[in-house]
Structure 1
Amino acid sequence: MQDIEKFIRGFSRFQQQYLAEQGWFDSLREGQKPGSLVIGCCDSRVDPALLTGSDPGELFVVRNIANLVPPCTPDAPPGVSSAIEFAVCGLEVERVIVLGHARCGGIRALMSPRRIAEETDFVGRWMRIAEPVRERVLRELTHKDDREQHKACELASILHSLDNLMTYPWIRRRVEQGSLILHGWYFDIDTGALMAYSPRKQEFLPLVCPLERAGKVAA
């Protein structure tokens, strides 16, 4: 019950911050026009709006286990694909951000398969989307320990999802026209850094430096 009471108090703060002031929600009542689609993980530590300091109406968010994007096929899971379709074709967002993170439970399940629910194994079936990533990491990083392999898989799965986004014809068309930009971001929970993939350098580089480095720069 304590959690429920906390949620109620939290909504009261939201109400005062966003609804009490006349005009803030007037335009949002009529509809939404977010500029960005964020495809993030369900992990409770990685809330896209909280991480980016976004207000209501700024982000269209799709969250699933391990922030995966299925390829565009007739049997693609319609939940995620329909949300992407609505954001890109209906809301005409200007950018898509695939937001991965360190210590991802979905990637851990991919790298060390085990059934969480024997009757259904929904997690295992969903994570098959990233099976090519797992195979490549195990093949190329056999000399690395589990932690390094898991991080490599977290990063590579972001790129895999970006590649899968380009299999959707209406995404490829807009990217080629220059009206849509795709980004791959990685939140490093261990260091507090936010990394972004650079296609030019073909590696993840810091958008926001780790806390200790940021402190040294400021000094």
Structure 2
Amino acid sequence: MQKLLEGLIKFREIDFEEHKELFGQLSKEQNPHTLFIGCSDSRLIPNLITQTLPGELFVVRNIANIVPPYHESEEYLSTTSSIEYAVNVLEIENIVVCGHSNCGGCKSLYASDEVLNEIPHTKKWLELAYEAKTKVLAEVSVEEVDKREWMTEQVNIVEQLKNLLTYPFIREKVSQGTLTIGGWYYLIETGEVFIYNKENGLFELAN
């Protein structure tokens, strides 16, 4: 906790002062241009890898950067409501779904029931990524662990892009050309980001 407290003081004395005018503008309203849907993993820092300032990204993070398919419900829907707010209230221009290497959530898709039963809410959440698991296992064997890992992480991103288009208001804005959606794959070990090309179905290095 002490490390966090020291960070708060450093932020106020250095970083805040450096961007004091910007924070003054942001104190009344936000106008982000992009909804960034990323994994909760502590190694993925959206503003760091995109070099964006406060106020530019509206960020949603959850295990395995999952987008639940659209459905109306009386339940408490955190990710769905955040997407709805970003698109319909903040009127963002872009949506990025960003996965990453060595994703614990994707890896857990292949864990045993004995392990998953110890984390029942996570187990339930990961049901939303079963489609990615099914597609990967149709192409690689369970024993090909490394290949299975990166394929699952990438296929999962593509599946979440498909889920975004189940949202009527997103589908409408995309068709009108007022909203763009994209998938990114971040390699923690190299700092590289690969962008999904829907034309050829490949992730290509951003350069």
TM score, norm. by length of structure 1: 0.86
User: Which residue in 1 is equivalent to 2:146?
Assistant: 147
4+ residue segments displaced more than 6 Å: none
- Cα 1:173–1:120 change in 2 (3 A) is same
The CA distance in 2 between the partners of 1:188 and 1:77, in whole Å, is 33
Q: CA deviation at 1:127?
A: 0.5
Q: 1:124 to 1:9 in 2, by over 3 A?
A: same
Distance, in Å, in 1 between the alignment partners of 2:112 and 2:135 is 16
Amino acid paired to 1:110: L
Match of 1:103, SS state, is coil
- State the partner residue of 1:11: 8
AA in 2 matched with 1:150: E
CA deviations on 1:131-155 (whole Å, 9 max, x unpaired) are 1111111112228611111110100
**How far apart, in 1, do the equivalents of 2:94 and 2:42 lie?**
24
Shift of 1:200: 1.9
Q: CA deviation at 1:79?
A: 0.5
- In the other structure, the counterpart of 2:130 is 131
Higher relative contact order (CA 8 A, sep 6+): 2
Q: CA deviation at 1:25?
A: 1.4
Aligned to 1:60: 58
8 Å Cα contact 1:18-1:24 kept in structure 2: no
Q: Secondary structure at the match of 1:156?
A: helix
Deviation at 1:116, TM superposition (A): 5.1
Residues 1:36 and 2:41 are matched in the alignment? no
Give the Å deviation of 1:202. Answer: 1.6
| Shift in alpha-carbon separation, 1:186–1:98, aligned structure 2, 3 A | same
> Residue 115 of structure 1: CA displacement?
5.2
Partner of 2:177: 178
The offset of 1:201, in angstroms, is 2.2
Give the TM-score normalised by structure 2: 0.91
**Aligned residue-pair number:** 205
Residue aligning to 2:89: 90
Aligned-partner Cα distance in 2 for 1:203–1:120: 33
RMSD: 2.0
Code of the residue aligned with 2:8 in structure 1: it is: F
Residue 158 of structure 2 aligns with which residue? 159
Q: 1:26: how far off?
A: 1.6
DSSP 3-state at the match of 1:131 = helix
The CA deviation at 1:53 is 2.0
Q: CA 1:171–1:180 in 2, change beyond 3 Å: closer, same or farther? A: same
Structure 2 CA distance for aligned equivalents of residues 42 and 182 of structure 1: 20
- Unaligned 5+ runs, structure 2: none
